[in-house]
């Protein structure tokens, strides 16, 4: 009985020492060595844990609208880098560069860089502006 309790206690201690950003790998959902750049209008901005999301409406060359999801960082990461729930607004036009989804029909990307051309605001070009566990070397979409 003591041995089982010791093993259980050791498992709990080791399990709580695992970094929070290791809860899953982005590589299972996104093609991390590729980039996609999308431009559109924000229709929703959710700052939440474990990941925040921006939803864009994008129009194709024929004017047909599609919604795209952009997966971003946690509330803590965004707050530490100056992003709050008020940073982006519905109606803002933005350009996003990130890793595309493995399944192209999902219409989503993992955020690397976001720019709001109207005022020059951006995120993703400073060393602290990176999603944990996601290494990305693509140039900025200027």
pLDDT score of 1: 55
pLDDT score of 97: 96
**How far apart, in whole angstroms, are the C-alpha atoms of residue 115 and residue 123?**
7
The structural domains of the chain, with segments of one domain joined by +, span: 23-123
**One-letter-per-residue 3-state SS of 13-37:** HHHHCCCHHHCCCHHHCECCCCCEE
pLDDT digit string, tens, across residues 64-111: 999 999 999 999 999 999 999 999 999 999 999 999 999 999 999 999
pLDDT digit string, tens, across residues 111-138: 999 999 999 999 999 988 988 655 554 4
**How far apart, in whole angstroms, are the C-alpha atoms of residue 111 and residue 71?**
6
pLDDT score of 130: 87
pTM above 0.85, yes or no: no
pLDDT digit string, tens, across residues 6-60: 444 544 444 444 334 344 577 678 998 999 999 999 999 999 999 999 999 999 8
pLDDT score of 2: 62
**By 3-state DSSP, what share of the chain in percent is helix, strand and coil, each rounded to 5?**
20, 35, 45
Q: Which of 3.50.50.60, 2.40.50.140, 2.60.40.10, 3.40.50.1970 would CATH assign to domain 23-123? A: 2.40.50.140
pLDDT score of 28: 72
Identify the helix (H) or strand (E) that includes residue 123.
strand 121-123
SS3 110: strand
Mean model confidence pLDDT for the chain: 82
pLDDT score of 138: 43
């Amino acid at each position: 009985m003591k041995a089982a309790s010791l093993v259980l206690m050791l498992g709990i201690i080791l399990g709580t020492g695992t970094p929070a950003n290791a809860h899953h790998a982005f590589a299972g959902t996104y093609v991390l060595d590729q980039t996609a750049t999308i431009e559109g209008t924000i229709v929703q901005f959710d700052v939440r844990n474990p990941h925040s999301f921006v939803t864009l409406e994008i129009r194709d060359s024929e004017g047909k609208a599609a919604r795209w999801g952009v997966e971003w960082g946690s509330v803590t990461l965004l707050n530490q880098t100056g992003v709050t729930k008020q940073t982006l607004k519905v109606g803002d036009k933005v350009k996003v560069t990130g890793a595309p989804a493995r399944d192209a029909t999902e219409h989503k990307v993992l955020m690397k860089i976001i720019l709001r051309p109207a005022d020059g605001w951006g995120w993703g070009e400073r060393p602290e502006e990176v999603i944990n566990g996601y290494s990305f070397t693509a140039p900025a979409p200027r």
